[in-house]
Structure 1
Amino acid sequence: MDIAQLQAYGYFTLVLILVIVLYGYIYHLYTKKKDADGVDYEQYSNMALNDDVDDTPVLSKSDDKEK
């Protein structure tokens, strides 16, 4: 086993580990949509696209102030 073959095995192992970490991170992002406070920030993702005056707001606010 020469150094080139050892480097090839190391490269393949590194790429495989990075792919596993990437898929784990993507899975984490899609399963944990809410933060620690329970707020789902994914509803804000279309705010830049739906920014006309006639569009519905992301969160509706009432005029009554909570006391």
Structure 2
Amino acid sequence: MDFNEFAAYAYFFLVVFLVVVTYSYIYHLYTKKKDSSGVDYEHYSDMALKDDIGDTPVKPVSKTEEK
């Protein structure tokens, strides 16, 4: 086995490994949308785009909630 053949096998297995890691991370993100406190952070994903004064808040704040 020369160096070029070894490099080709290493490249192939590296690509397969990265594909598996990427898909497992995507699966993890979509199965665990909420963290341990129950907050779904997907609502905050477009907060930078909807930042006008007339836009609805991402999370409404109740006046009875203590700070």
TM-score (norm 1): 0.80
Letter matched to residue 13 of structure 2? T
Instruction: Give the deviation of 1:26 after TM superposition.
Output: 1.3
Matching of residues 1-67 of structure 1 within 5 Å: 1-66=1-66
Q: Say if 1:4 and 1:40 are closer, same or farther in 2 by CA, change over 3 A.
A: same
CA distance in 1, matches of 2:62, 2:4: 68
Where 2:48 maps in the other structure, the secondary structure is coil
Instruction: Give the deviation of 1:31 after TM superposition.
Output: 1.7
The gaps in structure 1 that reach 5 residues or longer are: none
Where 2:47 maps in the other structure, the secondary structure is coil
Q: Runs in 1 of length 4+ with deviation above 6 angstroms?
A: none
The gaps in structure 2 that reach 5 residues or longer are: none
Letter matched to residue 46 of structure 1? D
CA distance in 1, matches of 2:31, 2:47: 22
Identity over aligned pairs, percent: 62
Total equivalences in the alignment: 66
Letter matched to residue 14 of structure 2? L
